[in-house]
Structure 1
């Protein structure tokens, strides 16, 4: 039964992937930003449905203007789930660019890739994020720097909060809660040394998977006296808000 379910879902996913690659390579360059955003959002929703994942949105996402979306990180699924709400350019480790299919898709959709361990990388990434903010875009950040099972939070790296802080861009914490048959579960987590193929087999071969996307209140860009909070303050506030939902 699992094999049949996987094959049927794969039959839905493959045409979507082909269509997505075609759009990235041949259609996106000719579309206005609003049209690209709509296509990105619609395609992401279709992909999640084809994979058998039910996505439930809670709270009020910031749908217009520049914003830094800060979320916990569980799986490759996270990027597509969040793009289902608003087209978002994510900061991701450079290794993802080399992943078959998924890497090509997220690269074409405007993902910002960072070379981990390089001294200049954070500064260069900050400049790239600032460009996106000036364009009125949403930028997504997983400040844990790696994935987990989704029940708790690893410490946040605060350095990439700086581009939003210095530009007084609003920051919206987002909690991702994965469930299986209505109960919290780490079944979909993409962690450790597991291969992408193995994770796809597990996720697309099962039933009852869902993810709650909880958009939390936006963090104030300035204090009441008009001063800017520090990046550490912002990272702690975002982490505390997400942790309260996860635990």
Structure 2
């Protein structure tokens, strides 16, 4: 049954991917920002449903104004989970552009790629983020810089908090909590040397992958002295909020041996 489920879901997912690539190549150049956002959100929701991934949303996501969403990073699924809530332009490492299919899709959807190690990379990405904020868009950031099994959260890199801080754009922490068969699990995590196809095989054949997206309150911009927080202080505060939510209940429910 798992093989049949995998084949059916893979067939539908590939059809959706081809449709997405066609839309990006032919329609996106002529669509407004709002129309692109609607298409992106609906397509992402349909893709996650086709992959058998159930999304639960808690909290109050910022849906209208420009916002920087900062989230922990567990899998390639994270991008589409957040896009299912609101169309989001992500900041991603340049290597993702080279991923088959997914790289093409996220590039066409307006992802901002950062060339790590390049002298002017942060400045170039900051300018691209400012442009998207000026258009009232949401920008997504995974400040850990890499994926993790999802039981804890690595420290956040603060540099790309600066554009939102400087422009007084809301910074909203988001905790992504992965579950499998009713328990917290690393079953769907995309970590280490695993291939994208290997991870997709595991996810698409499963019946019970659930991802809970917890939208925490936007960060308070001032410290106790009434001064505007530095980007380091904001990153530290966001990390603490996300980590507390991610670790909530892990000891009681996690399934390290899943998969």
Q: Which runs of 5+ in 1 are unaligned?
A: none
Aligned residues: 247
Q: Which runs of 5+ in 2 are unaligned?
A: 248-259
The 5-angstrom pairing of residues 206-245 of structure 1 reads 206-222=206-222, 227-245=227-245
Give per-residue Cα distances to partners, 1:149-190, cap 9 Å, x unaligned. 111011110111111111111100000000011110000000
1:44 maps to 2:40: no
Using the alignment, how far apart are the partners of 1:137 and 1:45 within structure 2?
19
SS in 1 for 2:85: coil
Give per-residue Cα distances to partners, 1:188-222, cap 9 Å, x unaligned. 00000111011111111111111000000011244
Using the alignment, how far apart are the partners of 1:119 and 1:101 within structure 2?
29
Using the alignment, how far apart are the partners of 2:71 and 2:156 within structure 1?
10
Using the alignment, how far apart are the partners of 1:61 and 1:203 within structure 2?
26
Using the alignment, how far apart are the partners of 1:228 and 1:90 within structure 2?
25
Question: What TM-score, normalized by structure 2, do the two folds share?
Answer: 0.93
State the Cα distance separating 1:117 from its structure 2 match: 1.3
State the Cα distance separating 1:14 from its structure 2 match: 1.3
Using the alignment, how far apart are the partners of 1:90 and 1:239 within structure 2?
18
Change (3 A) 1:3 1:31: same
Match of 2:252 in 1: none
Q: CA RMSD of the aligned region, Å?
A: 1.2
Give per-residue Cα distances to partners, 1:106-126, cap 9 Å, x unaligned. 000000000011121111111
